[in-house]
Chains A and B, each alone.
Chain A
Amino acid sequence: MTAAELAAPAVASAGASSPAVWCSALRKRYGKQQAVADVSLEVARGAVVGLLGPNGAGKTSVIKMLLGLVRPDAGEVLLLGRPASDPSARTRVGYLPELFRYQPWLSAAEVLTLHVRLSGADVSTQEQRECLDLVGLSERTGDRVGGFSKGMQQRLGLAVALVARPELVVLDEPTSALDPLGRVDVRDIVLSLKQRGVAVLLNSHLIGEVERVCDQVVILDRGRVAASGSLVELLGQRELRLHLTHVSADAEARLARTGPVQREGEWFTVSLSSADGESAVPDLVRDLAVLDTQVHAVEPARITLEERLLGILRDGADARAQTVTEPSR
């Protein structure tokens, strides 16, 4: 038995108790390019997981491997408790591809009917209509898709992903062609899916969007998982900005004991770890006052997901640069 098999959740008969997505040690190479190298991730039932990373990180390749559109060189995938190699695993899966395109010779309603038939789900015409209404296409149901703008086609793609009563929805860049209003609509739809207990795997470059709706985030870099965890875990690092004067050496030592310090004139930025308790800030301010430091301002600050993402990617680049230079020494 492989390590992956040992780690695999007991899902063959588990059904609803199994994760919506579980994959282990996925690998994919296109020619000389290693697109995905050892990616493992899990999306719990009802969870919204964001997939982040720079261009070429392997996000879309991972998604396509999960859905059986790309054959992995190695690794295992379970969708809703069934091996992804079995097409029936995708019965309750909705997918909006990054490259969204639908039969231009069909109407929007006909596209939805086609997908309902292919999914084998029993969805009434009324429900299909409501789905088009949800994405803002209620007035274009009978129009040919060939006449749709890109944004409207992406909205239709969203309806296609939602129409067959999915338990898992995979959205690959769902707002790339949408205006700000459309982005808000997508955010509301994802939040309503979350409320209904539908799991969502969301790949998006719009980090703010991910930060608003996702419970967990997986950051990919060069085909590997650079970081993963809940937003609290990833953004746990808090910062404190202090405007101080008369800072003695002892006061500087006290600041350094709290966390890494950056100084810009009279402004000091101290990083606090998530392990620091509620009293960390009042304790620091009291100690500085005791050391005769004049405290003019204390501002709490929080690291954004964007800053965290950039930090992780820069750390990865630095580590690679170090690996390259070390052997030549």
Chain B
Amino acid sequence: MSTVLTLAALTLREASRRRVLLALGAMTAVLLTLSAWGFSRLADEAVTTGEARLTASIVLNLVMFGYSLIAALGTAFLAGPTLAGETESGLALSVLARPIRRAQFLAGKWLGLVAFGSGFVALAGLAQCAVVYATVGYWPPDPLTGVALLAAQTTVLLTLAVLLSTVISPMASGVVAVGLFCTTWVAGVVGGLGTAVGNEAVARVGSVSRMLLPTDGLWRGAMHAFQDPTSIVEISGGAEAEAFPFLSVAPLTLGYLAWAVVWVAMVWGVAAMSFGRKDL
């Protein structure tokens, strides 16, 4: 276990020393400032309390999507260089010649990336909730669950990026992971539109994509935790809410959460097997 923790700490130190943390911190500060200004303007425009809460919910989810995108892109593009990049450059040779297993090496890198991505979304997400509360007086119903699901979404994507980086080049692994993430999100929006207009075939696109890559499903669960419960009723009694990409009609089921855990375990297992068989 100490080997895994040593390598996880090394991955975090790399993110820090390569100024990834600094860049993310600066970007988050800018986003928080802009959103604080935007929310205060929205508060001025709202006519009723219900309108204000609905607007706050939608815009909060939109900003949170921005954070989840930053975390997803960041970890996906970090996973490639830290794993595939190190094996390509020869940096991993002297480390893996030590008395450690390949799976420990992979677990250390993965854990470091999970801590990095989760830490970022937790801090940025809670800071954003505080900004919204300070500007429009809205506090999400379950911010901790929301932040935890955003962290889970980041974990899913970086696990995929780790798997890809064991088989393809560092750059390609980041591009493919982010491409799949965006495709699943678009498929989720398309599926929502299908549900809203009653087209089962189109609605199934979203359901299938959420099973294949659980990022969009977790994201919808997070949105539900951030939005005002009454906001769905505001939109035609909830029937057309499915068509809104930044509102979620239902909370996450435990079954889906379990599937996400199984999905991560399976993909991690395949990554460990692939990395274990790799000639360096």
A residues sitting closer than 8 Å to B (CB atoms) are 30, 64, 67-71, 87-91, 93, 95-97, 99-103, 105-106, 114-115, 117-120, 157, 160-161
Beta-carbon contact of B13 and A115 below 8 Å: no
Beta-carbon contact of A119 and B99 below 8 Å: yes
Complex Cα distance, B101 from A171, in Å, reads 22
Which residues on B sit within 8 Å (CB–CB) of A71?
Answer: 277, 279
Which residues on B sit within 8 Å (CB–CB) of A120?
Answer: 99
Complex Cα distance, B13 from A1, in Å, reads 49
Contact of B94 among A89, A95, A105, A117 (CB under 8 A): A95
Beta-carbon contact of B3 and A102 below 8 Å: no
Which residues on A sit within 8 Å (CB–CB) of B89?
Answer: 99, 101
Beta-carbon contact of B90 and A118 below 8 Å: no
Q: How far is the CB of B16 from chain A (nearest CB, A)?
A: 9
- A97-B90 CB under 8 A given contacts A89-B99, A90-B98: yes
> Which B-chain residue is minimally distant from A72 (CB atoms)?
B279
Size of the chain B interface, CB-CB below 8 angstroms: 23
Beta-carbon contact of B14 and A93 below 8 Å: no
A-B contact count (CB 8 A): 74
30 chain-A/chain-B pairs, Cβ below 8 angstroms: A67-B97, A69-B96, A69-B97, A69-B280, A70-B280, A87-B101, A88-B99, A89-B99, A90-B99, A91-B99, A97-B93, A97-B97, A100-B94, A101-B89, A101-B93, A102-B91, A102-B94, A103-B10, A105-B13, A105-B14, A106-B13, A106-B17, A114-B6, A114-B10, A115-B94, A117-B3, A118-B6, A118-B95, A118-B100, A157-B94
**Among all A-B residue pairs, the 8 with the closest Cβ atoms:** A99-B90, A105-B17, A118-B98, A95-B97, A97-B93, A69-B280, A70-B279, A91-B99
- A100-B99 CB under 8 A given contacts A105-B17, A114-B10, A117-B6: no
Find residues 2-48 in chain B having any chain A CB closer than 8 Å to their own CB. Answer: 2-3, 6, 10, 13-14, 17-18
Contact of A97 among B10, B94, B279 (CB under 8 A): B94
Find residues 264-280 in chain B having any chain A CB closer than 8 Å to their own CB. Answer: 277, 279-280
Which residues on A sit within 8 Å (CB–CB) of B90?
Answer: 97, 99-101
Complex Cα distance, B101 from A160, in Å, reads 19
Q: How far is the CB of A275 from chain B (nearest CB, A)?
A: 43
